[in-house]
Amino acid sequence: MTQPLRLGIAGLGTVGIGVVKIVKKHAALLEARSGRPVTISAVSARTKNKNRDIDISGFAWEADPVALATREDVDVFVELMGGHDGPAKASVEAAIAAGKHVVTANKALLAHHGQELAAAAEAKGVILRFEAAVAGGIPVIKALTEGLAGNEIDRVMGVMNGTCNYILTRMYDADLPYDVVFEEANQLGYLEADPNLDVGGIDAGHKLALLASIAFGTQVNFDAMELEGIQRIQIADIEHAADMGYRIKLLGVAQMTGRGLEQRMSPCLVPASSPLGQLEGGTNMVVIEGDSIGQVVLRGPGAGEGPTASAVMGDVMDLARGFAVSTFGQPADTLRPVRGVKATKSAPYYLRMTLLDKPGAMAKVASVLGDAGVSIDRMRQYGHEDKTAPVLIVTHKTTRDSLDVALTGLEETGVVEGHPVAIRIEEV
């Protein structure tokens, strides 16, 4: 009989259990498709005796994931614990050193240590894959490394944190403030153990850094990313943006410029009628633009048991079939170190400020913008409350530097209360 591909699974949370279920439920299908059985030899998790949705008594138990990673009867170490250091890193390193292939869903680990782990895997002649780390069930790593391998990639964009997209769309649909919807998301179990990973844009930033590496042949450089979360977005911004035909999304954009790699993960306005604008709830979307393909839009579930386990199994099946591809789509030693640069391309911006009801206040605003070289496209002033009025401005395309000069100037006019809000409008 053909030798089975034997898995060792570390981490029996939502995703780990999902993988066990697929291996059990689809044993015949997996064997028919790969030509060999896919089996589980051993598992590891924080707690052994826990009420799980599935029987794991048929698998050997290892309390220590490093011991699991180096077992004789494990061909592929499946790391589903999470965390960018600690047991996840130690066990992945141990697996590679022991000559095991590795499949992981750990975006943080790869965003921080991807280059060294990919190099270690190649030196040892093993494969390290991470489809489930980016955009849950969407096979975007395969799309970039395989299907689009003949393209020079111009730009990668994505809404890749379902929790943030849930919060932003729920605020709009139910007319609820951020704090209330954040608590709802918490009750629903949508938030990571450290919620700042979600709402601070870090989780989505990790994912974008991994896509940028494959797209542009560069070493992962998460530290150089411009990162801003959704915590400052108010219901007023969402409603005003909608009034002007936009939606607010936590959008990642990566593109190569003459000066270096631009990577931004920040709230942006996108046209309400665009595919990104229409993306609802926890769904993810990745948009890839290449010289031959034009634009590809991939949409699907960004988290959850079935979708994430599906992505893990995509990588496992490649290994079962004997298909080998470098972690970031090309040998690790050919990935270029790259400098991160701030957004240099001009874009229109949405500005919201609270204006004091004084003669000449609006004229001062217009003059500060004009002096900074920022031209107004559209402007709205809403009714006064307590001698102030919200004012919205959509600018023509301008650079971030000019905008920053204007924002400082606005705060110094004496007619703008507090800090003006500025959100980039992305052409998608």
Residues that bind ligand HSE (CB under 6 A): 161-163, 192, 198, 203, 302-303
Residue (of 419, 60, 36, 362) closest to 234 by Cα position: 419
* Residue 350 C-beta: closest distance to ligand HSE, Å: 25
Q: Which CB sits closer to ligand HSE, 87 or 136?
A: 136
* Residue 308 C-beta: closest distance to ligand HSE, Å: 8
In Å, the largest CA–CA distance within the chain is 87
* Residue 202 C-beta: closest distance to ligand HSE, Å: 10
Residue (of 212, 203, 225) closest to 108 by Cα position: 203
* Residue 252 C-beta: closest distance to ligand HSE, Å: 12
d(CA 217, CA 206): 16
Neighbours of 286 (CB within 10 A): 26
d(CA 393, CA 421): 10
Residue type, 393: I
For helices 27-34 and 305-321, what crossing angle results, to 10°?
40
Cβ(38)–Cβ(7) below 8 Å: yes
Q: Which CB sits closer to ligand HSE, 162 or 229?
A: 162
- Token pair listed for 387: 């001698």
d(CA 313, CA 115): 23
Q: Which CB sits closer to ligand HSE, 302 or 340?
A: 302
* Residue 75 C-beta: closest distance to ligand HSE, Å: 26
- Token pair listed for 335: 């990935």
Q: Which CB sits closer to ligand HSE, 275 or 300?
A: 300
Q: Which CB sits closer to ligand HSE, 192 or 305?
A: 192
H-type alpha helices, 222-348: 235-243, 305-321
For helices 27-34 and 14-25, what crossing angle results, to 10°?
70
Q: Which CB sits closer to ligand HSE, 210 or 394?
A: 210
- Active-site residue, selected from the candidate residues 89, 107, 207, 364: 207
Q: Which CB sits closer to ligand HSE, 268 or 425?
A: 268
* Residue 107 C-beta: closest distance to ligand HSE, Å: 6
* Residue 163 C-beta: closest distance to ligand HSE, Å: 3
d(CA 74, CA 57): 17
Torsion of CA 19, 24, 27, 29, to 10 degrees: -60
Torsion of CA 423, 290, 102, 1, to 10 degrees: 140
Residue (of 221, 219, 248, 213) closest to 234 by Cα position: 248
Find the helix or strand (DSSP H, E) in which 44 lies.
strand 38-44
CA atoms within 13 A on the CB side of 400: 11
Residue that is written with structure tokens 């040998």 in the block: 331
d(CA 232, CA 423): 11
Find the helix or strand (DSSP H, E) in which 298 lies.
strand 294-301
d(CA 169, CA 182): 12
* Residue 166 C-beta: closest distance to ligand HSE, Å: 8
* Residue 311 C-beta: closest distance to ligand HSE, Å: 11
Q: Which CB sits closer to ligand HSE, 198 or 289?
A: 198
Residue (of 279, 276, 298) closest to 288 by Cα position: 298
Q: Is residue 207 annotated as part of the catalytic site, yes or no?
A: yes
Catalytic residue numbers, as ranges: 207
